[in-house]
Amino acid sequence: MAFELRHLKYFVTVAEEKNFTRAAERLFIAQPPLSRQIKQLEDELGTELFERGSRPLELTETGKFFFAHAQQLLSHAAEIKAMTKRVSQINRTLSIGYVASTLYGKLPKIIRLYRYEHNAVDLQLHEMTTVEQIKALKEGVIDVGFGRIKHEDQNVHRIVLREERLIVALPIGHALAEGSDRLQLKSLINDTLIVYPKAPRPSFADQVLSAFHDRALTPKKIIEVRELQIAIGLVAAGEGIAIVPNSLIGMKRDDIIYKDLNERHAYSPIIMSVRAMDQSEEIRNLLDLIYRIYDEEQIPYVRGTL
Ligand code: BEZ
């Protein structure tokens, strides 16, 4: 007998409950067949998974090892189920997660054009961080995420759409806001640096902090805030400065001055994330449309594939 997912589910439930009777109740089966299944599993593995005679039931060292992997396998199987359900939905919907800063880039144009060209597709938009997007993709809540963090996950396929330059947002009247010079990060360390989002991490805040740390620079004071709009509002209030993606220039305010950075490698990527192997027509059309806009507007990028 090769073991099946069912055996793993039984084993994990017994290990969690530390008791056969309670586990059987949770699984809606009688206790004797549950004990038989665990015995079969132990025979198949050629080892004991539970300490014999222990009350409450304790895992052996091998049992602990198997438990950690069984839990991972079961949660992976649950993810596959949720993802497949979502992919198989016949009504054509496309649910998109995005980080707020992409609203100041090409996202509004992409959505407008997509709605115009594919009006049979029901588009839904959800603001969320990159880390939240990965979870939402796996739970089938969204189909596409637009974020900025290179998060590794075997169930998620990432395409770096383009790299966006970082710029500095300064309050009007700031000494560095005068003149046309591009600024260096080292000229900013005596200001309070406002970064976002505070959680979940890693986030765009870490990209900005790394830009300083990579150059062995430490800002005098750092304030972490919940979101981009708060960071910009606090800059306007004179609380500090913020490093933001270049597209923020589109958010014109008369109390903020944006300055270019004179630094190499000061970029933030715009990353499209989809479920691995999801090549649905809606997603292919969306990616084609993004590249068409980049071509028309002569925005530099390296083409990726689904
Ligand atoms: C962009 O600005 O390039 C962009 C923003 C959101 C989604 C896709 C692309």
For residue 111, the cross-strand partners are none
Provide CB contacts within 8 A for 126, sequence distance 6+.
95, 96, 97, 98, 136, 141, 142
User: Do the beta carbons of residue 242 and residue 164 sit within 8 Å?
Assistant: no
Q: Is residue 302 part of a domain?
A: no
Q: Classify 90 in phi/psi space as left (phi over 0), alpha (psi -120 to 50) or beta.
A: alpha
Residues 139 and 286 reside in one and the same domain: yes
Q: Judge if the beta carbon of residue 110 lies within 6 A of ligand 1.
A: yes
Burial bucket for residue 107 (CB in 10 Å: 0-12, 13-18, 19+): buried
Provide φ and ψ at 13, rounded to 5°. -65, -45
Q: Judge if the beta carbon of residue 268 lies within 6 A of ligand 1.
A: no
Q: Is residue 242 part of a domain?
A: yes
- Secondary structure class of 220 (helix, strand, coil): coil
Q: At what angle do helices 281-296 and 107-117 cross, to 10 degrees?
A: 120
Residues 287 and 213 reside in one and the same domain: no
- Secondary structure class of 213 (helix, strand, coil): helix
Q: Is residue 263 part of a domain?
A: yes
- Domain with residue 181: its CATH number is 3.40.190.10
Residues 287 and 140 reside in one and the same domain: yes
Total domain count, the chain: 3
Q: Is residue 304 part of a domain?
A: no
Q: Is residue 306 part of a domain?
A: no
Q: Is residue 27 part of a domain?
A: yes
Residues 23 and 74 reside in one and the same domain: yes
Residues 263 and 171 reside in one and the same domain: yes
Residues 28 and 95 reside in one and the same domain: no
Q: Is residue 305 part of a domain?
A: no
**Structural domain of residue 195, as residue ranges?**
163-267
Residues 244 and 108 reside in one and the same domain: no
Q: Judge if the beta carbon of residue 225 lies within 6 A of ligand 1.
A: no
Residues 153 and 275 reside in one and the same domain: yes
Residues in the chain: 306
Last residue of a domain, one of 22, 57, 85: 85
Last residue of a domain, one of 85, 112, 144: 85
Residues 153 and 168 reside in one and the same domain: no
What pLDDT does residue 89 have?
Answer: 63
- Domain with residue 48: its CATH number is 1.10.10.10
Q: Judge if the beta carbon of residue 107 lies within 6 A of ligand 1.
A: yes
CA atoms within 13 A on the CB side of 90: 0
Last residue of a domain, one of 53, 85, 117: 85
Q: Is residue 71 part of a domain?
A: yes
Which residue owns the Cα nearest ligand 1 atom 6? 107
pTM of the predicted model, to two decimals? 0.76
Which residue owns the Cα nearest ligand 1 atom 4? 106
Rounded to an integer, what is the distance from CA 30 to the centroid of its chain?
42
- What distance in angstroms lies between residue 285's CA and the mean position of ligand 1's atoms? 15
pLDDT tens sequence for the chain (306 residues): 678 899 999 999 999 999 999 999 999 899 999 999 999 999 999 999 999 888 899 999 999 999 999 999 999 898 888 878 777 665 588 999 999 999 999 999 999 999 999 988 999 999 999 999 999 999 999 999 999 998 889 999 999 999 999 999 999 999 998 887 899 999 999 999 999 999 999 999 999 999 999 999 999 999 999 999 999 999 999 999 999 999 999 888 999 999 999 998 899 999 999 999 888 899 999 999 999 999 999 999 999 999
Kindly give the number of the ligand 1 atom that is closest to the alpha carbon of 293: 3
What pLDDT does residue 7 have?
Answer: 92
Q: Judge if the beta carbon of residue 148 lies within 6 A of ligand 1.
A: no
Nearest CA to 18 among 66, 64, 63, 57?
57
Tokens of 87: 């992919």
Nearest CA to 306 among 164, 98, 156?
156
Residues 175 and 155 reside in one and the same domain: no
